[in-house]
Chain A
Amino acid sequence: MEVEGQVYCFRCGAPAPRGATYCPRCGAPLDVHYVLRPPRPRLTPSLGLALTVLGAALYALGYTLAPLWLVPVLLESSFYLAVFGLGVMASATLWRWLKPWAIEPLFLVGALLTLVEHVAVFTFHVEAPTLLYLFKAGIALMAASTAAWLMARREARLLNIDVVKSRWPFASSLAAATLMSLVFAAGAPSALGVVEALAAAYTVGVAAWLLWHFYAPSVFKAYLGLSSTEEAVMVDRGLTREETGYAFTDILLRASTLALMAFSILVFGAQLFDPQLDLSSMGTLVLLAKYSLAAEVLLGVFGPPAYWLFEALDLRVLDRASATLEKASPIGFLDSMVDLFAALGFLLTIRDVTLSITPPDAAPALYAPLAFFNAILLLYYYASIVLPPALVATALYHKYSFEKQARWLLDEIRPRRLEEAAALLAEPPGASRS
């Protein structure tokens, strides 16, 4: 559907009047290139159906046509894909009904499936190999819910639809933390052991949050570190609901950053000290988990919360000595590299785990791909120890600290408006400030 006199940004899809020079949302130059049609929704039930059918087709292929070495890989990946497709299909239907908030609870359903499998196997000692599929379905559903929710939010933004995107983010985060902790605790010898595992997750979470609640703004100011010739500049009009609001998926992804940060630092450090470290042994994993929990408490305050504050305030630093305006960031030019490095680190970790659980005499083509899927299960098990405290801390921080700290920092720093900064830069050097 074309609207007369209206064009759409080629980059972010926002509507703009014909003849506009810049996109009103993302600032892309529209005099160079624009599109005439509004962006098409991508999260549709047919996408989910296509993924499910593809999964089923791969499964059939795995049984009939595939060469022997490919069979286990196809069977394994097709199952994940099919359940992921079903999850996307359900999410897309909910999105069609304009209920994107109902997508997030699918994550909890996935976590519940993994818990049911673990309780059946480790608490009640049910011996049914097919139960493992319940666990895998849970993981695929959790991934589908997260991906679909992010797509729905993107589309709501593109199409300018203002709907409730998340309900009960705090309660959902605590529920996810509890369910995942229970997955880890399912093997505990007694009911008291289960309570202790839950107590540990919540204690570590609250301890990390307390440090953020007390110290994150100081860390932010230390990172900002304005010199005498520098001033903070704010590019937009202040904190919007979009920047300070949060959803369960936001909390989940941010908590994962914290857990990944702790994990990456430790694996890196451990491999420096002991290059022969065997990541596949349960002993090493438990050791890493213990150190990760301590790192979440002690190092967390220097990482994620200050970084989230930088993201929300979106400040620039004006250096009058060199007449430059640069994005304020805790790690300067590395800012854009962080996500890339986190993803690379995670992939390398999976590769390490995969290689370490592949027997040295196994034919790599036959065994390594399957070990990759086992590594996913192993990492989920590890996540069930490290992610719950991170979820508790992040949820508490977003409910009680984040917005207040961001507003307080704005009051403290008093950043200049962009127009004022431009006027300052236009002043001849040495002229006194008004």
Chain B
Amino acid sequence: MELLPAIALSSLAVLLAVLDRLLGARPLAKASALVFSLTAAAAALHPSGEAWLPLAATAVILALLYRGEEPWR
């Protein structure tokens, strides 16, 4: 995965997570997790070094956002 799509997709995941926080809509959080996980899987299949940096930053943001939550409810 190239740098640009990685940035675009991880931004989308963060945006969905932030919207979930603002609107309290759980489906948005689930969509965010799905988008991020699919992006990470795609990046693992077609790795290019620099794409991992924005993805790792997104991973940290999402982990901080959801670690105390119970989003399966």
B-binding residues in A (CB < 8 A):
192-193, 195-196, 199-200, 202-211, 213-218, 290-291, 293-294, 297-298, 396, 399-400, 404-405, 408
Contacts and interface: CB of A to CB of B under 8 A. Distances in A.
Interface residues of B, number: 33
B44 A199 contact: no
7 contacts: A199-B55, A203-B55, A203-B56, A207-B40, A213-B66, A396-B63, A408-B72
Contacts of A298: 37-38, 41
A239 to B, nearest CB: 16
Contacts, number: 93
A205 B56 CA distance: 10
B23 interface: no
Main secondary structure of the interface of B (DSSP, over half): helix
B30 A206 contact: no
A408 B62 CA distance: 22
B29 interface: yes
B19 interface: no
Contacts of A216: 72
Nearest to B32: A210
Contacts of A405: 70, 72
Nearest to A206: B59
Contact of A203 (B38, B40, B66, B68): B40
A408 B73 CA distance: 8
B24 interface: no
B43 A203 contact: yes
A405 B37 CA distance: 20
A416 B33 CA distance: 34
B50 to A, nearest CB: 7
Contact of B62 (A192, A199, A210, A290): A210
Contacts of B40: 203-204, 206-207, 297
Contacts of B66: 210, 213
A405 B56 CA distance: 26
Contacts of B72: 213-218, 405, 408
Closest 4 CB pairs of A and B: A207-B40, A199-B56, A206-B59, A293-B44
